[in-house]
Amino acid sequence: MTRGRLSRERPKMVAAKRALPWLAASLRPISSTAAGSLPKQVKIVEVGPRDGLQNEKNIVPTQVKISLINMLSETGLPVIEATSFVSPKWVPQMADHTEVLQGIQKFPGVSYPVLTPNLKGFQAAVAAGAKEVSIFGAASELFTKKNINCSIEESLQRFSEVMHAAGAASVPVRGYVSCVLGCPYEGKIAPAKVAEVSKKMYSMGCYEISLGDTIGVGTPGSMKEMLSAVMKEVPVGALAVHCHDTYGQALANTLVALQYDGTRAADSFTDACFFIQMGVSVVDSSVAGLGGCPYAQGASGNVATEDLVYMLHGLGIHTGVDLQKLMEAGVFICKALNRRTSSKVVQASCKL
């Protein structure tokens, strides 16, 4: 489902302020033949303002959140998850959800989904003007129990209420599946379980399923195994990956998820090397890599959007995103949070 700015032309990357030759050169789009069986474009779902900020210690004022989202809207990102309509008792950082959603500039062609954990949240979201919502399941019983005190089956029943209401209001719903490559409580997660939960959420009416490596333990091998199982149940066009960088594996895992044309036949040794062929073309990431991992103290969480965009552009894949503007948004929010960016691209560009 192509949305937002992908349909607009972004013919040239703006050179970094330092205007060093290598940065411009590395951002120059290459011929798609060199990239083999990679998608020509990737939709980036920016989760910084919600998933990112939700896991940051310091509470961010409403106006700062609004400014961040506005800056992100300027970058060309097609989807920006704005906030979460969850009880402030549980997530104080998202207490200002209504003000944020109503305060942001809604750019044409950009989606601003919000998380809605239950029917009450959904109704509040729609009343506040939400045009798209997200719900989340998990591939782990223990994780679901610890998180929302019920079984996977019960959680899906709760979400079916949201799905019915969303269907009646013509509001698209995005589904998240947590712990797809490992669980902080159960450890190993069977790919078949991930496929089962994904299938259920897709059948309930979610237009897209975002598969989350919640604790970042996955590697290209486990990513491939999991996606192979899920793709038997859900079409690849409805899949997204949400990789955490806790063990530094996020970009390698994302790369594997992107590579696909469904066959293993190869004319040359080089072609054979892109054997891991998955074909996902939607990737979640967080500006500045906002959002640490709540399960490993001091560890990083979300992959940084800047680093993801750097890789995709280097591969000649179109994202519609202006990396320079994205970096500026990241610098802005890190200053506001008084924290160092987790993006290596930004660190390398001497903007801390």
Partner 1 sequence: MGTVPSALKHCLSYQHLLKEQLWIGEPAAPPPALHPGQEFQISGLPDYVKIVEVGPRDGLQNEKMADHTEVMRGIERHPGVQYPVLTPNLQGFHSAIAAGATEISVFGAASESFNKMNINCSIEESIEKFEEVTKSARNMNIPVRGYVSCALGCPYEGNIIPAKVAEVSKQLYSMGCYEISLGDTIGVGTPGSMKRMLEAVMKEIPVSALAVHCHDTYGQALANILTAIQMGVGVVDSAVAGLGGCPYAKGATGNVATEDVLYMLNGLGINTGVNLYKVMEAGNFICTALNKKTNSKVAQASFKV
Active site residues: 293
The residue (of 8 and 146) whose beta carbon lies closer to partner 1 is 146
Q: Is 25 in the site for partner 1 (CB under 8 A)?
A: yes
d(CA 235, CA 232) in angstroms, rounded, equals 8
| Shortest distance (Å) from residue 41 CB to partner 1 | 15
- What is residue 78's DSSP assignment? S
Q: Where are the alpha helices (DSSP H) in 241-340?
A: 250-258, 269-272, 305-314, 323-337
Please report how close the Cβ of residue 323 comes to partner 1 at its closest, in angstroms: 11
**Interactions with partner 1, residue window 180-209 (CB under 8 A):** 182, 184-188
List the one residue from 1, 20, 59, 169 that touches partner 1 (CB under 8 A).
20
Provide the 3-class DSSP secondary structure of residue 177: strand
- Give bridge partners of residue 212 from the DSSP assignment: 242
**Min separation Cβ 54 and partner 1, Å:** 7
Phi-psi region of 188 (alpha: psi -120 to 50; beta: other; left: phi over 0): beta
| Nearest residue (CB) to partner 1, 127 versus 273 | 273
Residue 21 near residue 337, CB atoms below 8 Å: no
Closest CB to partner 1 among residues 107, 115: 115
Residues 124, 321: Cα–Cα separation, whole Å: 31
Query: Which residue of 8, 58, 61, 90 would you call a contact of partner 1, by CB under 8 A?
Result: 90
Specify the residue, 106 or 325, whose C-beta has the smaller distance to partner 1. 325
Shorter beta-carbon distance to partner 1: residue 36 or 109: 36
Rounded Cα distance between 166 and 87, Å, is 20
Residues between 93 and 132 that touch partner 1 (CB under 8 A): 115, 117
Structure tokens at 345: 């691209």
Smaller CB separation from partner 1, 237 or 248? 248
- Note whether 350 binds partner 1 by CB under 8 A: yes
Q: Which of residues 269-308 bind partner 1 (CB under 8 A)?
A: 269-270, 272-276, 293-300, 304, 307
* 150 touching partner 1, by CB under 8 A: no
In terms of phi and psi (left: phi > 0; alpha: psi -120 to 50; beta: otherwise), the region of 248 is left
Q: What is the CA radius of gyration of the chain?
A: 19
For helices 220-230 and 191-204, the axis angle rounded to 10 degrees is 50
Residue for token pair 């902080």: 184
Residue selected from 152, 197, 204, 217 as contacting partner 1 according to rule CB under 8 A: 217
By CB under 8 A, residue 53 contacts partner 1: no
DSSP, collapsed to helix, strand or coil, labels residue 41 as strand
Asked whether position 85 contacts partner 1 by CB under 8 A, the answer is no
Among 6, 54, 80, 337, binds partner 1 (CB under 8 A): 54
Residue 143 is which amino acid?
A: F
Give the integer Cα–Cα distance in Å for 207 and 6: 18
Number of residues located near partner 1, criterion CB under 8 A: 84
The token pair that represents 112 in the structure block: 């601003």
> Taking contact as CB under 8 A, which single stretch among the options 8-16, 98-106, 144-152, 159-167 is the one that binds partner 1?
144-152
Q: Does 59 bind partner 1 (CB under 8 A)?
A: no
Task: Report the alpha-carbon distance of residue 195 to residue 201 in Å, rounded.
Answer: 10
The interface region with partner 1, picked from 105-113, 199-207, 319-327, 338-346 by CB under 8 A, is: 338-346
Give the residue with the Cβ less far from partner 1, 235 or 269.
269
Q: Return the residues of window 156-185 that contact partner 1 according to CB under 8 A.
A: 176, 178, 182, 184-185
Distance in angstroms (rounded) separating the CA atoms of residues 65 and 107: 16
**Local structure of residue 268 (DSSP, 8 states):** S
User: CB of residue 108 vs partner 1: minimum separation in angstroms?
Assistant: 28
Residue 227 sits in the site that holds partner 1 (CB under 8 A): no
From 103, 109, 205, 220, residue interacting with partner 1 (rule: CB under 8 A): 220
What single-letter DSSP state applies at residue 37? S
